[in-house]
Amino acid sequence: MCGIIGYVGKAEATPILLEGLRRLEYRGYDSSGVAILSDSASGEGSDIQTRKRSGRLDNLRTLLTENPAAGHCGISHTRWATHGEATDENAHPHLDQSGKLAMVHNGVIENYQVLKDHLEEEGHIFHSQTDSEVLAHLVGNAYEASTEKDQRRRLVEAVREALHLVSGTYGIVAMHEDSPGFLVGARFGSPLVVGLGKGEKFLASDVGAIVSHTTDAIYLRDRDLVWLTEDDFAIENVDGDAAEYEVSTVDFTPEQAEKGDYPHYMLKEIFEQPTSIQNAFRGRLVDDQASAILGGLGLTPRELRDVDRIVLCGCGTASHAAMVGEYLIEHLARIPTEVEIASEFRYRNPPLDKNTLVFVLSQSGETIDTLAAMREGQRKGHRVLGIVNSVGSTIARESDGGSYLYSGPEIGVAATKSFTSQVTLLTLLAILLGRMRHLSVDAGQQMLKELRDLPAKVGKILSQSEHIRQIALKYLDAKGMLFLGRQFNYPTALEGALKMKEISYIFASGHAAAELKHGIIALVSEETPSVFIMPKDSVYEKNVSTLEEVKARKGPVIAVTTEGSTELERIADDVIYIPPVSEMLSPILSVIPLQLLSYHFSVALGCDVDKPRNLAKSVTVE
Ligand code: M6R
């Protein structure tokens, strides 16, 4: 949450920082700011010029047009508020007591109040309600108290000293008027990446912010501390020891992280699914064995054979994909599988046996609860594998193996292509484990064929976008919505409801369809449409009965069903067809009309599709 970019080099810093913030805005968008270190004219020192504005990035752009800030070194931030409302004062960067040090911070300083009280007793004056300003003051305090003559070293040591006083999480970048052209960064729990350009360096919370300048990146580890000048850098840890690092090449182009001709990232990402699904299974289908290969798991066939229980862990959309995975693995491999919401798992101290295999699923690879769940599993001595999209992310690096989705950057806050890719990968896992147990060659081959057919079928559903938009327009006055599905499409119902809530602000809830009579039916009314996800599968007839019960109570019904089920047109108010597909893979198709439905609702209601209120793309604070 929150986006950071810092720059030091030969170019004017402000345009680079604004462009970086534009690319990072999906991480938080309630206020933003920059601090620029002016170049020192001969005989004079540098000045820090700070510009901050609440609201969207355009507000900051306007401010910088009216009141520019020039210099070749600067730091900037786009905020998702934790402590203190979204005001100009609470926006980052924050200054220390002397006004000579500026800092941006992601994360939460948990003991900030005690530290703030102490600093106030010493005479410090704070201008914001944030925990981050306290950290800036702590660094400034350590800097002022230091006897170190080398001003750069003094700043590095001051940052280190201050970080030893705080508990919580941080990704920070700091600069000081005494050290022009010099940035210091550190991370613990909040991602930070160094960008190595020619004669310029970057520090950012996300590689997407710098990919248009350089593809050479160093993903910092927890407790790393880095300093940068335009030509040099060094990475130590917060205890002062040298740290190991690796220079990686960024695996996507700046164009991939742009909207292109689409009005919104979400729509672009929905339409990318024929390709992203293909990328998830490309090179992983083994025809002559009617199986799949997931080399990154790093497990021998014997180890895979010994697995007798699987735990799938994630948050939000990733947890819904995991639920589909639970059905798939139990069905194809007959291995007991459980889904754990990561935030519960991390504190629940669940018993894990020797042969339990734990997976964490995360698009961003940075979700704090999923990361903590992974570490909890590892602490218990378990091998925890990751199913992750973002290459180089913390989960990707710290997990004990796993598989990438290869979906390309997902920027819309509402997760779309990551869901279908996660389900695709879990299908491969289920086939792999199934073929080691009872799954026949024929059944394995059938699954591979079904997977290969998916991209064309997804394309066919996408061509109905306008039809789905017309349906959305009929229900814009809905007071709430129900999403109902059974078996493999129970998780799809949860996912459809989540999409509707987060981008349209319409209260929606997803349920196992048979649960309707156990209470939920009380919500059915003419103003509460129900979306039935009911492909022609083994529970289709049961779903028809439930649908009839809703219609008998005057509830409008939108049915997502399989081509050919035209009988539904007589009972449902609206019908959306998906191509025939195996029941097990149907969520990959049936979710797409739900993504489009929520998208068109959101646009028609005038909501900000890609930046829904109160949300941010990756949840890196608790
Ligand atoms: O990056 P992750 O997959 O770990 O993110 C998990 C959730 O925060 C995410 O899926 C969230 O629920 C989305 N906004 C849903 O659209």
β 200-204/193-197 pair status = antiparallel
From the CA of 415, give the closest atom in ligand 1.
Answer: 16
Q: What DSSP designation does 488 have?
A: G
Fold designation for 259-463 = Rossmann fold (3.40.50)
Question: How many angstroms separate the CA atoms of 102 and 446, rounded?
Answer: 60
Distance CA 334, CA 402 (A): 21
Query: Exposed, middle or buried, 101 (CB in 10 Å: 0-12/13-18/19+)?
Result: buried
Other CB atoms closer than 10 Å to residue 196's CB: what's the count?
A: 17
Known active-site residue 2: yes
Extract the runs of DSSP E, i.e. beta strands, from 367-501: 384-388, 402-404, 481-485
pTM of the model: 0.89
Q: Which atom of ligand 1 is nearest to the CA of 317?
A: 10
- Give the residue among 515, 516, 527, 511 at the shortest CA–CA distance from 549: 516
CA of 507 to the centre of ligand 1 (A): 18
Low-confidence ranges of the chain (pLDDT < 50): none
Residue 84's pLDDT is what? 86
Fold observed for domain 464-622: Rossmann fold (3.40.50)
The confidence score (pLDDT) of residue 229 equals 97
Ligand 1 — pocket residues by CB below 6 A?
Answer: 315-318, 362-364, 367, 370, 413-415, 498, 502, 618-619
Of the listed 2, 73, 313, 315, which one is catalytic? Answer: 2
Query: Which residues does residue 249 pair with via DSSP β-bridges, in sequence order?
Result: 216
Bridge partners (DSSP) of residue 224 are 237
Distance 8 CA to ligand 1 centre (A): 33
The protein residue whose alpha carbon is closest to atom 9 in ligand 1 is 316
Cα 547 to middle of ligand 1, angstroms: 30
CA separation for the pair 134, 281 (Å, rounded): 48
Q: Which atom of ligand 1 is nearest to the CA of 619?
A: 8
Q: Indicate which residue's Cα is closest to atom 8 of ligand 1.
A: 316
The span from the CA of 463 to the CA of 35, in Å, is 47
**Which pLDDT score is estimated for 44?**
65
**Residue nearest ligand 1's atom 4 by CA:** 362
Structure tokens at 319: 């947890």
Name the helix (H) or strand (E) containing 565.
Answer: none
Sign of CA dihedral 575, 576, 580, 581: negative
Rounded-to-integer distance, Cα 393 and Cα 206, Å: 9
Nearest CA to ligand 1 atom 7: 316
- Each residue's pLDDT tens digit, 393-431: 999 999 999 999 999 999 999 999 999 999 999 999 999
Q: Cα(289) to centroid of ligand 1, in Å? A: 34
pLDDT at 216: 96
> What pLDDT does residue 43 have?
52
What's the 101 CA to ligand 1 centre distance in angstroms?
Answer: 35
- d(CA 27, CA 109) in angstroms, rounded, equals 19
How far is residue 154's CA from residue 160's CA, in Å, rounded to a whole number?
10
Which entry of 100, 116, 499, 617 is annotated as an active-site residue?
Answer: 617
| 151 and 176 Cβ atoms separated by less than 8 Å | yes
- Rounded to whole angstroms, the Cα distance separating 455 from 377 reads 35
What is the reported pLDDT for 388? 97
How far is CA 160 from its chain centroid?
29
- pLDDT reported for residue 83: 83
Domains 259-463 and 464-622 share a fold: yes
Is residue 230 within 8 A of residue 200, CB to CB? The reply is: yes
Task: Decide yes or no: CATH 3.30.1310.10 for domain 3-251.
Answer: no
Question: Does the annotation count 73 as an active-site position?
Answer: no
CA–centroid distance, 377 to ligand 1, in Å, is 20
Segments making up each domain of the chain, as ranges = 3-251, 259-463, 464-622
Query: Which of 26, 27, 270, 315 maximizes ligand 1 atoms within 8 Å of its Cβ, making it the mutation to test the pocket?
Result: 315
